[in-house]
Each structure stands twice: as structure tokens, then as C-alpha cells.
């Protein structure tokens, strides 16, 4: 039986989807009983050179040729952004077409509304490819929630920033060189702010929070810090003490509250996450029964992300669905911490004895994993015993002896899992 599909978008991911569906259609038919055919593809510029052949006759610039075609049973939306994707997806659902999307911003902001519409119209809304590329993390969360309660989700979920930091830290590139390399390979857009400033990871984290904890959270309530918060001094000192700086998004559910943020963190070099480089992603799940699982895979790219989209298509063809709980009322996400270990870089107002600086820290309940003072800059990795980073920072500022230039959390192998409120101090850009 034929199953006709409309494809909205033919960029990097859309091209991957087309290649996989057309090359594997016979195999898909053998496994599902349906022969998938991409009937129409919506593009902005039909004359644009593409790396996909033989598609000229099925290209269109009119979305209605797809959305109003009764023969098309499903649309795959890989356009990105909200306008016009939101309207197209709504119209498709109302027209009783299944929807598969890789659009993390759309799902983060309107996923609950669209899922309710899909339920009312008896169609599927699938979005595995919206988070972590080829890693099937949405499916894993759905399965694990049947037998356990998930209380933590996080990891490296933006391949572009991970690639850039990998080039800077491991290959010695300057920031502009690493960004240009990412753009050349199609990992970063000409305007990279969406990735660099953490928006991409933010939308993915919202999806993970909603899926893992069954709560509705506001995008605007989550603190977001991009890799532009990092200076080369921070990279140098982190490496000196055996850490790597990684882009990190995390959230924890505790006693009805959600804590989380998007931010660069220091990770011990012998931690498995420190070895996740380039565009690879890693997602951590923690639960009462299974304790901790880490999923690692390609987080970007034509074929890895396209594969996740086609996996959702196969779920639709197999009539597969796990009914998840409705999210509860919207709650705020508190700015917290998963750790009691921090990295700090200070610039003293004047030179003084290193013993005086160390005493200020120890008097405020800190012990050192490493520290350095050259008369101009003091940097340290330290542990707080009273777990009150707000009080600690306030105490430093009240001394009127330092400018706090950087403060990052440290993920280390024996992290305690208490949640504490914490302020993150902005540093200058790379």
C-alpha cells in the first residue's frame, strides 16, 4: 500500500530525509507493509542548486499543494523556526495528516497545543529529531517512564558549540577560525547566535523537561548562557587542572520543583562526557531504578538527523504510540546547581599576598582543588561545604577587593546531587 508524504523543507535535514526514504522505501515496505513516497516538497527557491537529483517535478513553492492534497497522509516538517512552520503544522493536523518534525523551537513553544490538536484529530505528532540528532532520546524517555521515575536529564545537546569548543581546546584554533570551520561544514549558520548564545540548547532542554517530568515550563524562565561567556583564560586554567569546558544543559525535578539552566561547565577530563567531541551529543538520564544512563551519538548532520526523522515515520506506519501523561500546569524553572564544586576567576583591585586570598575563601567554607595567583588574576576550582554559593559570592563582593570575571559549575565524577540556588556571573566573550 502506498503512503504519500509531503516534505516541508529541503535543506540539510530535508535532503537527508529524502535520500533515506527513497533509498530504503522497498525495505520499509517489507517491514511495515507501506510503500512510502514523497509526493511533494515545499521549497523557497526551486531553481537553487541541490545535492539531490531527480526532484524537479515534485518541488513546489505553494504549501497548499501539500496541505490540501487528500492523497498525502503525513507531512515531514524540517523548515525550522515558527513562522510559517507553526501555521503549516496546525493546518496539516486539522486536515488529519500525521506530522513528523525536527523543529525544536516549535515543539518547545507550542508542543502541548499541537499534541492536543493531534489527539483531537486522531493523528500522530512525532518529534524525535528535535533533540540530539541521531540519539533516540525521546523514545528512551517514553519507555523508561513506564517503569521508573526520571529525576534528572541533561548533557551536551548542541553539536555546533561542542564542535567549536573542541577545535579551540584540542586543536588550538582561535574562536573565529573554529566558527568558520563549523560554518564551512554546515554545522553553523551564517548568523550563529542561535547556537552560540544557547537558544538551540534551550529549546531542546524544554522538550526534555516536558517529556521527562510531565510538567509545562516557560522557555523564558530558564537561565541561558552561551559559549560566548567563555574567555581564553578560562580554557587555559581549566586545562591546567585537568578539566574541559563543555556546553551543558541540565534539569532536575525535586519535590515538585524543576531546577535547570543552559551554560558552559567544567568537566573532568576522565569523565565520559569530556571525550564527547565535535558535533557529537550526549544525554544523561537519571532515575530511581536504572540510576544513570548516558546516550552518545551524532547530534547534527544530514544523515544522522534524517535517520531520526525516518524512524518517526516508521513508528507512524507501524501505528506505534506510547500514551504519555498530560503535562501539568506551567511552572517556573529555578536557577540551581547540580554540584558543590565551582570554578572562579577574580581580578583583584590591587596586589596582595596569596595567603590573604586563600584565607577569605577558607573563612567562607571553601576548600581548594586547585588555585593560582599571578598578582593580576586569581583562579581556582573550589568546593563549598555549606552549599550556599549565593552567600559566598555576596561575601566576596562585600570585601570590595575583587572583580568576579567568571564563575562556572564543575561536573565531576562524584558530584553530590543536592539542588542549590546559584547565580552565574557573566564573563567577557571569547
The predicted model gives 114-121 an average pLDDT of 94
* pLDDT for the residue numbered 243: 94
- The residue to which cell 536557577 is assigned: 335
Average per-residue pLDDT for the chain: 88
Q: What is the helix (H) or strand (E) element at residue 123, kind and residue range?
A: none
State the pLDDT at residue 151.
94
Domain boundaries, the chain: 2-126, 137-297+330-336, 339-421
Please write the tens of the pLDDT for every residue from 215-272.
988 888 999 999 988 999 999 999 999 999 999 999 999 888 899 999 999 999 999 9
Which contiguous run of DSSP H or E holds residue 311? helix 302-317
Kindly give, in sequence order, each residue whose CB lies less than 8 Å from that of residue 147, ignoring residues fewer than 6 positions away: 289
Question: What contacts 238, CB < 8 A, 6 or more positions away?
Answer: 244, 245, 266, 343
CATH tag, 339-421: 3.30.70.60
| Coarse DSSP helix, strand, coil percentages of the chain, rounded to the nearest 5 percent | 40, 30, 35
**pLDDT digit string (tens) for 294-313?**
999 887 777 778 888 999 89
Tell me how far the alpha carbon of residue 351 is from its chain's centroid.
Answer: 42
- pLDDT above 60 (res 430): no
CA-based nearest residue to 182, from 172, 202, 201, 168 = 168
Give the SS3 label for residue 23. Answer: helix
pLDDT tens per residue, range 196-215: 999 999 999 999 999 999 89
Average pLDDT over residues 168-178: 93
CA torsion sign for 35, 49, 51, 100 is: negative
> Using only C-alpha atoms, what is the Rg of the chain?
24
CB of 208 closer than 8 Å to CB of 151: no
Q: Per-residue pLDDT for 329 more than 80?
A: no
The x, y and z cell numbers of residue 210, run together, are 516536558
Question: Could you report the per-residue pLDDT of 268-297, keeping only the tens digit for each?
Answer: 999 999 999 998 999 999 998 899 999 998
Alpha helices for 33-136 (secondary structure H): 64-67, 85-94, 104-120
Per-residue pLDDT of 48-97, as tens digits, reads: 888 888 888 999 999 999 999 999 999 999 998 999 999 999 999 999 99
- What pLDDT score was predicted for residue 387? 64
Question: Is 40 labeled as catalytic in the residue annotation?
Answer: no
Strand ranges in 203-242 using DSSP code E only, listed in sequence order: 216-217, 223-224
pLDDT at 52: 84
Q: For residues 406 and 346, give the distance between their C-alpha atoms in angstroms, rounded to a whole number.
A: 7
What architecture is domain 137-297+330-336? Answer: 2-Layer Sandwich (3.30)
Mean pLDDT (whole number) for 407-425: 58
- Write down the catalytic residue from 104, 145, 204, 298: 204
* Reported confidence tier of residue 416, pLDDT bands at 50, 70, 90: very low
pTM: 0.87
- For domain 2-126, the question of CATH label 3.40.50.1480 is answered with no
Amino acid at each position: 500500500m502506498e503512503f504519500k508524504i509531503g516534505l516541508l523543507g529541503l535543506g540539510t535535514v530535508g535532503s537527508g530525509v529524502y535520500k533515506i526514504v527513497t533509498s530504503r522505501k522497498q525495505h520499509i515496505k517489507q517491514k511495515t507493509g507501506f510503500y512510502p513516497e514523497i509526493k511533494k516538497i515545499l521549497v523557497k527557491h526551486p531553481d537553487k542548486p541541490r545535492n539531490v537529483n531527480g526532484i524537479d517535478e515534485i518541488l513546489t513553492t505553494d504549501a497548499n499543494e501539500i496541505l490540501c492534497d487528500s492523497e498525502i497522509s503525513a507531512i515531514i516538517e524540517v523548515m525550522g523556526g515558527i513562522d510559517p512552520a507553526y501555521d503549516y503544522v496546525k493546518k496539516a493536523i486539522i486536515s488529519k495528516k500525521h506530522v513528523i518534525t525536527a523543529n525544536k523551537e516549535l515543539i518547545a513553544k507550542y508542543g502541548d497545543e499541537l499534541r492536543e490538536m493531534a489527539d483531537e484529530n486522531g493523528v500522530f505528532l512525532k518529534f524525535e529529531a528535535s533533540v540530539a540528532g541521531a540519539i533516540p532520546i525521546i523514545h528512551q524517555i517514553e519507555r523508561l517512564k513506564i517503569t521508573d521515575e526520571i529525576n534528572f536529564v541533561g548533557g551536551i545537546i548542541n553539536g555546533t558549540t561542542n564542535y567549536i569548543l573542541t577545535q579551540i581546546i584540542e586543536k588550538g584554533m582561535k574562536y573565529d577560525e573554529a566558527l568558520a570551520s563549523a560554518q564551512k561544514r554546515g554545522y553553523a549558520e551564517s548568523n550563529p547566535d542561535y547556537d552560540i548564545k544557547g537558544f538551540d540548547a534551550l529549546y531542546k532542554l524544554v522538550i526534555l523537561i516536558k517529556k521527562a517530568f510531565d510538567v509545562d515550563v516557560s522557555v523564558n524562565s530558564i537561565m541561558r548562557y552561551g559559549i560566548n561567556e567563555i574567555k581564553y583564560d578560562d580554557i587555559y586554567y581549566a586545562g591546567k587542572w585537568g578539566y574541559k569546558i563543555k556546553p551543558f544543559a541540565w534539569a532536575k525535578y525535586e519535590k515538585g520543583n524543576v531546577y535547570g539552566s543552559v551554560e558552559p561547565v567544567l568537566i573532568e577530563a576522565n569523565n565520559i562526557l569530556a571525550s564527547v567531541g565535535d558535533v557529537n551529543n550526549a544525554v544523561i538520564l537519571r532515575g530511581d531504578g536504572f540510576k544513570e544512563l548516558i546516550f552518545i551519538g551524532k547530534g547534527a548532520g544530514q544523515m544522522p538527523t534524517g535517520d531520526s526523522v525516518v524512524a518517526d515515520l516508521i513508528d507512524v506506519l507501524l501505528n506505534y504510540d506510547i500514551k504519555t501523561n498530560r503535562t501539568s500546569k506551567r511552572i517556573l524553572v529555578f536557577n540551581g546547581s547540580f554540584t558543590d564544586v565551582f570554578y572562579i576567576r577574580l581580578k583583584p583591585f590591587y596586589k596582595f599576598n596569596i595567603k590573604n586570598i586563600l584565607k577569605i575563601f577558607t573563612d567562607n567554607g571553601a576548600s581548594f582543588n586547585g588555585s593560582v595567583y599571578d598578582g593580576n588574576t586569581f583562579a581556582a576550582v573550589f568546593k563549598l561545604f555549606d552549599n550556599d554559593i549565593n552567600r559566598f559570592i555576596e561575601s566576596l563582593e562585600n570585601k570590595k577587593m575583587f572583580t568576579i570575571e567568571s564563575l562556572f559549575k564543575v561536573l565531576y565524577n562524584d558530584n553530590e546531587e543536592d539542588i542549590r540556588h546559584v547565580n552565574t556571573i557573566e564573563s567577557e566573550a571569547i
